[in-house]
Amino acid sequence: MPIYDLNNIAFLGHDMENTFDVINSLYRVNFSRNSIDFYPKTFVHIDSHWASEESQNTFNKIVPIAKSLIKDMYAVLENIYKGQTGKFEKIEIEKEYKHLKEFRLLNNKFKHFNNEKVEIDLTALAYIQSDGSYIDVYFNFYYIDSSVGLRLSDFIEIYLTILEDKEIISINRKTTSDL
């Protein structure tokens, strides 16, 4: 295999595989006919309360992974559109996909640190089970006149949906599996 070539869109396949590996490390994914369900794999045992220091440390460890994943997924989408059409008309594309605007704003927040259009913060989302808690990342977007809350998996779903719509990937929608 040749060395990765930044000028060859065919190498985006490696980038997509990397995003799939990260998604698989964070979630068990269930593809059904009309939806994609995500089940976090990040777990804190029942010995530690969902708001304990251990839970907070566990959450803090997945935040850099989530940040990198957001940037990588958005870069793949941007490059696919540019490769196929020569441009990335973000405002037009955002009309097609709900919350793609928040995806862009979050990507910009991570890349440039500040974003004057919206305030964004993180919340640890705990799914409490009998043996412990599954931890996930939740993003809060505060606009002047409204707010939106989205899980990390919501952005992954947007990513996978666009890849599927653009016929870059094909998803067997009757399975629970790795990507």
Each residue's pLDDT tens digit in the chain (179 positions)?
667 666 666 778 889 999 999 999 999 998 888 889 999 998 887 676 666 787 788 888 999 999 999 999 999 999 999 888 888 888 899 999 999 999 999 999 988 877 677 899 998 888 887 887 888 999 999 999 999 999 999 999 999 999 999 988 888 877 655 56
The whole-number pLDDT of residue 104 equals 94
Q: What is the pLDDT of residue 115?
A: 66
pTM across the whole model: 0.89
Residue 28: strand pairing partners: 39
Ramachandran sector of residue 139 (left: φ over 0; alpha: ψ -120 to 50; beta: rest)? beta
Q: What is the pLDDT of residue 160?
A: 95
How many other β-carbons are positioned within 10 Å of the β-carbon of residue 105? 19
Q: What pLDDT score was predicted for residue 116?
A: 72
Between the alpha carbon of residue 27 and those of residues 5, 19, 83, 100, 135, the distances in Å are 30, 12, 29, 21, 10
Which strand (E) or helix (H) includes residue 20? Answer: helix 12-26
Q: What is the pLDDT of residue 150?
A: 96
- What crossing angle do the helices spanning 152-165 and 12-26 adopt, rounded to 10°? 140
